[in-house]
Amino acid sequence: MKTRTFLHLFAGAGVAALLGACSKAAPGPAFQAVDITGAEYAKDFHLPDAHGKTRSLSEFKGKVVAIFFGYTQCPDVCPTTLAEMAEIRNQLGADGDKLQTLFISVDPERDTPEILQAYMANFDASFIALRPENQEQLAAVAKDFKVYYKKVDGSAPGSYTMDHSAATYLYDPMGRLRLYAKYGGGSAPLLADIKLLMQQTA
């Protein structure tokens, strides 16, 4: 009985050791943004782009996708973020085509298709702007992506600003939400994370 018990304990310890060795042998990627792999939200959308074509996340499989919510009259966060994404795409060289940046407007009232087309062209021709058709559609996609936005009245009619979440969602080439990149970190950490995501194909 003692021998059998000892063998059982030895076998159990061996399995635990093997499991421990396996877990140590295959660590996850060392991302610099917040890793939200497995999140049960922001899985897809169906929104018209600046040309009126309905787009969805699923059509960009095979690419790393960066999604940012903002508006064209934003004085700082939006242009800074888009400029960083343009810089990153340039630094990727030939792999730049494997990155897709999507800009979702939280101000469809003023962000007309024409304005959005011109705004994207200021940063990179590959960037795609998405414009909710009405406030109901905007509210629905913002809720699904857990994005905050609020209209802040200005000193004159039509001079309002939009408070909004200032972070970028990053998806791997399989279309899975992986990272939440907070605003203000600079382009270098984002570039490193995007390179890691490009390797996530299974």
Q: Is 78 annotated as a binding residue?
A: yes
pTM given for the model: 0.85
Q: Is 74 annotated as a binding residue?
A: yes
For residue 20, tell me if it sits in a domain.
no
Q: d(Cα 128, Cα 104) in Å, to the nearest integer?
A: 9
For residue 19, tell me if it sits in a domain.
no
For residue 15, tell me if it sits in a domain.
no
**Residue 135: domain span:** 30-197
Query: What is the per-residue pLDDT across 69-111, written as a single tens digit (0 to 9) for each?
Result: 999 999 999 999 999 999 999 999 999 999 999 999 999 999 9
Q: d(Cα 11, Cα 169) in Å, to the nearest integer?
A: 45
Please report, for the domain that includes residue 96, its CATH number. Answer: 3.40.30.10
Angle at the Cα of 55 from the Cα atoms of 52 and 60, rounded to 5 degrees: 140
In total, how many domains does the chain have?
1
For residue 78, tell me if it sits in a domain.
yes
For residue 80, tell me if it sits in a domain.
yes
Query: What is the per-residue pLDDT across 20-35, written as a single tens digit (0 to 9) for each?
Result: 444 444 567 789 999 9
Q: Is 46 annotated as a binding residue?
A: no
Return the closest-CA partner of residue 45 out of 116, 94, 97, 102. 102
For residue 91, tell me if it sits in a domain.
yes
For residue 22, tell me if it sits in a domain.
no
